[in-house]
């Protein structure tokens, strides 16, 4: 097979931080090439260089054997290199169609934008991904998974020779991943070279034919996937074997910490009840948009349910909570919330790691209180989670995606809550760090805390949780002990919602 892209001796440093050093990377048309590595290994940086977003400090790129000079994303696009970035990059103020065609809008004879064509082609592109949303909808109105799909559609659409997907599935659930994989295979069969970055190992084995592993900015090696297994891949990435991903479950649980009583999420929906006990990790599973997120958010006033009550450590709080002060109120009562969208809702990207973590300790504290005594906690969190940063003063925005997630998580742990509600505990986190985060969560419950967790990864739910509630149509379709749960069972419950019905 001929090589379409060859990156030779790529190095990149951000000030004192060397993100990449002397990395070689080759791509063949028709192949699906996995790019793996721990958080902060340099995967996104390498791909941004290939896309023309960043310029390498040294090294060269060849396109079909000819040197390629990329000074802006435009150049990348013109060279047929299309990217779905790890960080969502859609423009929320524009419509779906406008986002699809931004930068290459079809034009009318008069030089204006040909909106009818744009809409029609948008529909077509979305239909390929089994999607059907109105091209005139504002992206701001889309959910996170819908946005992710739109990004993918945008990338796929570009008729690219090289397609880079940087953690495209981080916000997708199993069913959506299937749709995506189908399309990726189709693209590959049409001769497109695909780079696939993901921390979900099972996807790599299912989809990819070649894997390149980076570690600390350096190339570890490139191998055919057929020669690898999970253990060897992890060893290659982490440098050691991971014995147990998930820590052991607690033997017994304590008194109820968090209870939801007769919560009606939407007019017409059934009332739902659930409890989370001290020492327990309880998960909410289900297909996208069935109400899991609404339940979690209703607990902090970010979703307005019709009615219901919360019981928190014996205290009863009527729903709905006020939008502005709900989160603070619950925070004061000992319930912390970790949002999924770390960029918009989670992190203060221009502030330091230390400040981001320390903020968790200041919630509910009077404004004039001294802001001190956080140094030790910050250090403890950074050590415990192995956060890779230049130091506590490093800007969070300069961290790799997975390390950002750890900072977000560190803040919640530092705040010393009794109950944590977590939307996606390990979005974009590498295997090693995942194990660390799971361990921390278990430590938290072992100390008497309670956790309510949402995740799109069924395996994570099964491995991590004690009990799982499956949500369907804004109501609880069933409850199952994690030890008895399998991916298949969960999907079945999620699809049917108790009855038989197609999704």
Ligand X SMILES: Nc1ncnc2c1ncn2[C@@H]1O[C@H](COP(=O)(O)OP(=O)(O)OP(=O)(O)O)[C@@H](O)[C@H]1O
Query: Which residues would be at the binding site for other proteins (CB under 8 A)?
Result: 15-16, 51, 53, 72-74, 77-78, 83, 85, 87, 89-94, 98, 102-105, 107, 111-113, 324-325, 327-328, 331, 337, 339, 344-351, 355-356, 358-360, 362-372, 411, 415
Interface with Mg ion includes 44 (CB under 5 A)?
yes
Q: Which of 401, 410, 425, 432 binds Mg ion (CB under 5 A)?
A: 401
- Angstrom distance (rounded) from CA 354 to CA 141: 33
Q: How does DSSP classify residue 138?
A: B
Count of residues near ligand X by CB under 6 A = 34
What sections of 38-173 are H helices per DSSP? 43-51, 73-78, 96-101, 115-128, 144-157
252, two tokens: 């017994």
> Is there binding between residue 371 and ligand X (CB under 6 A)?
yes
Q: What is the largest CA-CA distance in the chain?
A: 72
401 lies in the binding site for ligand X (CB under 6 A): yes
- Least separation in angstroms between CB 147 and ligand X: 18
Burial of 175 (0-12, 13-18, 19+ CB in 10 A): middle
- Angle at the Cα of 198 from the Cα atoms of 391 and 432, rounded to 5 degrees: 50
Q: Is 157:124 a contact under the CB 8 Å cutoff?
A: no
Contact 44, 35 (CB under 8 A): no
Q: Does 386 bind ligand X (CB under 6 A)?
A: no
Closer residue to other proteins, CB minimum distance, 105 or 130: 105
Residue 83 as a binder of ligand X (CB under 6 A): the answer is no
**From the CB of 164, what's the least distance to ligand X, in Å?**
12
Q: How far is the CB of 37 from ligand X (least distance, A)?
A: 5
Q: CA-to-CA distance for 444 and 216, rounded, in angstroms?
A: 30
**One of 373, 383, 499, 500 touching ligand X (CB under 6 A):** 373
Q: Residue 419 burial by CB count (10 A; 0-12/13-18/19+): exposed, middle or buried?
A: buried
Q: Which of 21, 31, 44, 210 binds ligand X (CB under 6 A)?
A: 44
372 binds Mg ion (CB under 5 A): yes
Which helix (H) or strand (E) element contains residue 12?
strand 5-14
Strand order through the sheet with 315-318: 272-277, 256-264, 307-312, 315-318
Shortest spacing between CB 477 and other proteins, in angstroms: 29
Compare residues 388 and 411 and give the one whose CB is closer to Mg ion: 388
CA end-to-end span of the chain: 41
Cβ closer to ligand X: 427 or 472?
427
Q: Which CB, 94 or 390, lies closer to ligand X? A: 390
- Which residues have CB under 8 Å from 244's CB, separation 6+? 435
> 265: closest CA among 215, 206, 307, 219?
307
Question: For residues 296-355, which are near ligand X according to CB under 6 A?
Answer: 352, 354-355
Q: Which stretch binds Mg ion (CB under 5 A): 38-46, 329-337, 342-350, 453-461?
A: 38-46
182 touches which of Mg ion, ligand X, other proteins, none (CB within 5 to 8 A by kind)?
Answer: none
- Asked if 45 interacts with ligand X (CB under 6 A), we say yes
CB of 274 to Mg ion, least distance (A): 35
Based on CB atoms, which residue is closest to other proteins, 213 or 330? 330
- Cα atoms in the 13 Å half-sphere on the side-chain side of 269: 24
**Residues 404-463 contacting ligand X, CB under 6 A:** 428, 430
Stretch that binds ligand X, among 157-165, 230-238, 332-340, 373-381 (CB under 6 A): 373-381
Choose from Mg ion, other proteins, ligand X, none: what does 102 bind? Cβ within 5-8 Å by kind. other proteins
Residues 3-42 that bind ligand X (CB under 6 A): 14, 17, 19, 37, 39-42
CA distance 271 to 387: 41
Kindly state the tokens that stand for 255: 């008194």
Please state, in angstroms and as integers, the Cα–Cα distance from residue 253 to each residue in 276, 285, 308, 401, following that order.
9, 21, 25, 34
State both tokens at 317.
């709080």
- The contact mask relative to Mg ion for 76-105 (x = CB under 5 A, - = no) is ----------x-------------------
Q: What is the DSSP string of 427-457?
A: TT--HHHHHHHHHHHHHHHHTT-EEEEE-S-
Say if residues 358 and 371 touch (Cβ distance below 8 Å). Answer: yes
Among 66, 372, 488, 500, contact with ligand X (rule: CB under 6 A) = 372
* By CB under 6 A, residue 402 contacts ligand X: yes
CB of 301 vs other proteins, minimal distance in Å: 10
Residue at shortest CB range from Mg ion: 44
Tokens of 348: 């203060």
Shorter beta-carbon distance to ligand X: residue 102 or 371: 371
- 342 versus 388: smaller Cβ distance to ligand X: 388
Contact residues toward Mg ion (CB under 5 A) are 44, 86, 372, 401
Contact positions vs ligand X (CB under 6 A): 14, 17, 19, 37, 39-45, 86, 352, 354-355, 358, 371-375, 378-379, 388, 392-393, 398-403, 428, 430
């Amino acid at each position: 097979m001929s090589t379409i892209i060859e990156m030779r001796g790529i190095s990149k440093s951000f000030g004192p931080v060397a993100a990449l050093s002397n990395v070689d990377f080759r791509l063949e048309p028709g192949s699906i090439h996995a790019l793996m590595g721990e958080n902060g290994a340099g995967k996104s940086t390498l791909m941004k260089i290939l896309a023309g977003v960043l310029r390498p400090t040294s090294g060269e790129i060849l396109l079909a054997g000819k040197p390629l000079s990329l000074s802006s994303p435009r150049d990348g696009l013109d060279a047929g290199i299309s990217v779905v970035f790890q960080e969502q990059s859609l423009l929320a103020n524009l419509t779906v169609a406008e986002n699809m065609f931004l930068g290459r809008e079809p034009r009318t004879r008069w030089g204006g934008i040909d909106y009818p064509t744009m809409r029609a082609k948008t529909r077509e592109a979305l239909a390929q991904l089994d999607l059907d949303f109105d091209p005139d909808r504002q992206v701001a109105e889309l959910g996170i998974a819908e946005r992710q799909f739109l990004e993918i559609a945008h990338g796929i659409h570009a008729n690219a020779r090289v397609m880079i997907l940087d953690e495209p599935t981080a916000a997708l659930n199993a069913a959506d991943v299937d749709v995506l994989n189908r399309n990726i295979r189709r693209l590959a069969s049409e001769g497109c070279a695909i780079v696939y970055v993901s921390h979900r190992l099972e996807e790599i084995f299912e989809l990819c034919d070649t894997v390149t592993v980076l570690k600390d900015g350096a190339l570890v090696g490139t191998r055919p996937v057929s020669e690898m297994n999970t253990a060897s891949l992890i060893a290659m990435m982490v440098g050691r074997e991971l014995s147990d991903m998930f820590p052991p479950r607690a033997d017994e649980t304590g008194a109820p910490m968090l209870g939801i009583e007769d919560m009606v999420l939407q007019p017409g929906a059934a009332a739902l009840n659930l409890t989370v006990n001290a020492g327990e990790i309880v998960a909410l599973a289900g297909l996208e948009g069935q109400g899991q997120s609404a339940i979690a958010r209703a607990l902090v006033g970010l979703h307005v349910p019709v009615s219901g009550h919360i019981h928190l450590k014996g205290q009863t709080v009527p729903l709905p909570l006020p939008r502005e002060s709900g989160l603070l109120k619950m925070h004061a009562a000992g319930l912390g919330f970790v949002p999924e969208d770390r960029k918009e809702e989670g992190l203060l990207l221009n502030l330091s790691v230390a400040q981001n973590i320390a903020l968790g300790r200041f919630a509910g504290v009077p404004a004039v209180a001294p802001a001190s005594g956080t140094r030790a906690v910050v250090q403890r969190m950074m050590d415990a989670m192995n956060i890779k940063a230049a130091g506590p003063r490093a800007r969070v925005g300069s961290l790799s995606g997975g390390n950002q997630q750890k900072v977000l998580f560190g803040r919640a742990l530092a705040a010393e809550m009794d109950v944590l509600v977590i939307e996606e505990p390990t979005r974009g986190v590498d295997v090693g760090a995942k194990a660390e985060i799971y361990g921390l969560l278990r430590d938290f419950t072992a100390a008497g805390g309670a956790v309510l967790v949402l995740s799109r990864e069924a395996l994570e739910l099964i491995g991590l949780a004690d009990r799982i509630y499956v949500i369907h149509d804004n109501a609880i379709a069933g409850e199952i002990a994690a030890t008895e749960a399998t991916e298949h069972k969960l999907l079945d419950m999620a699809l049917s919602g108790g009855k038989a019905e197609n999704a």
